[in-house]
Chains A and B, each alone.
Chain A
């Protein structure tokens, strides 16, 4: 039996009320949306807020809207189940629906939200454990301790970013909108994450993610998206590796753009470098996919922040990349 620490619960009905509550309670408050990440962490004693400010009552965080030419606007409060089943998302960016569908099991997708997935706390073998377990090891850098047990120097927290929708959203060039008592701002999701496992987001603790926008496709181009995931048990486990791809093709079926983002390794999702260049001006082919899989393999270095063997996870990088690339093709075009 895992008890929650005592807290008071608030369910405001408007965003400005929520922001007032967050300002009034400051560091003693935390935001709760679906609660599927926060509540287990609170049960493990990782957070002990005096106040929870729920976003469930906020109508302005709901809804998915298809915009012209493959654009999308999604409220941060839509559930992952809603994203996975949305006709608008399936039409404009099917990999976003697939990524949402690839998160956990049905019960968790019915509660967890898209905004919550973007703000998911980083995860580590030495962190997501009970108070009893963590105390036995003398705690860790991320919570109550002063050294990281994963790396040799132990001075930087490398808890893994473990959410599935950000790689797809980053590959698509999506943006998110934030609201706080100080005002509103918009940010590219690729700029949202930082390489520090203790707190890996540029979001302030009292900032609420309100909406996510996927950009439209340029005239004359076609966009394809893909999501791939490695995990031990399909419906329970967080990703050992999660990747999002977006590719743009011209009428002839030639690649004019390719973005690949991987996560589950370090503390933030990472754009693969010198990746899209391999494909520019090329037609989609088995040789191209093999070259892309090799490039991903060279750039991904799993750490011992997961209990699963890093060597095996490294060996699985090109396997998952190949399977994910296969979702993008074949691409027909005028000869």
Chain B
């Protein structure tokens, strides 16, 4: 079948955005190549690694296996929407402080999964953090610093510690 183009309208990080993309594009391809939001990463590109994790209506999903049309009418949040350089999300500050990112490729997806966890459960235990991040692969850190950072960010969000 020949490639057909659509104008796709998405609500991304609070903004109404429109992009002309091939109708068979994934949400990830649209974010990266249609809207210039390259924070979400293209890793395995087939739903295994979690690097492309974004939030749809607040829930983490894999944008590399989400047809872009499936995201229409829903609230898309990418790592760019979690915080700004001058006002980072507590998770972003904690990842910086704890050295929770090394090569950084998995970090945007892990931040999105973690943000969804903290929105749902402001006081998670280690088991809840491990569970929430079980769909995000990291080949550098061994996860320990990531778990420490998420638990710290949860404390900060509850008003219990310095960022």
A interface residues with partner B (beta carbon < 8 Å): 1-2, 4-9, 11, 32, 35-36, 39-40, 43-44, 50, 52, 54, 56, 81, 104-108, 110-111, 234-236
Q: Name the CB-closest residue of B to A39.
A: B65
The interface residues of chain B lying within 8 Å CB-to-CB of A81 are 59
The interface residues of chain A lying within 8 Å CB-to-CB of B136 are 105
> Residues 114-141 of chain B: 1 if any A CB is under 8 Å from the residue's CB, otherwise 0?
0000000000000000011011110000
Interchain CB contact under 8 A, B135 and A6? no
| Minimum C-beta distance from B79 to chain A (A) | 14
> Which secondary structure characterizes the binding site on chain B?
loop
The one of A11, A35, A235 in contact with B65, judged by C-beta atoms closer than 8 angstroms, is: A35
> Which secondary structure characterizes the binding site on chain A?
loop
Interchain CB contact under 8 A, B135 and A235? yes
The one of B24, B50, B69 in contact with A107, judged by C-beta atoms closer than 8 angstroms, is: B50
Interchain CB contact under 8 A, A9 and B69? yes
Q: Name the CB-closest residue of B to A79.
A: B59
What are the 7 closest A-B residue pairs judged by CB atoms, nearest first? A105-B135, A235-B134, A39-B65, A9-B69, A40-B46, A2-B45, A50-B1
29 contacts between A and B (CB under 8 A): A1-B42, A2-B46, A4-B24, A4-B26, A5-B24, A6-B3, A6-B24, A7-B1, A8-B23, A11-B69, A11-B72, A36-B47, A36-B62, A40-B46, A40-B47, A40-B65, A43-B46, A105-B50, A105-B135, A105-B136, A106-B131, A106-B132, A107-B50, A107-B60, A107-B61, A108-B62, A111-B61, A111-B62, A235-B135
Interchain CB contact under 8 A, A106 and B113? yes
| Minimum C-beta distance from B146 to chain A (A) | 15
Cα-based distance from A253 to B78 in the complex (angstroms): 53
Interchain CB contact under 8 A, B67 and A6? no
Cα-based distance from A43 to B23 in the complex (angstroms): 15
Cα-based distance from A56 to B4 in the complex (angstroms): 22
The interface residues of chain B lying within 8 Å CB-to-CB of A104 are 135
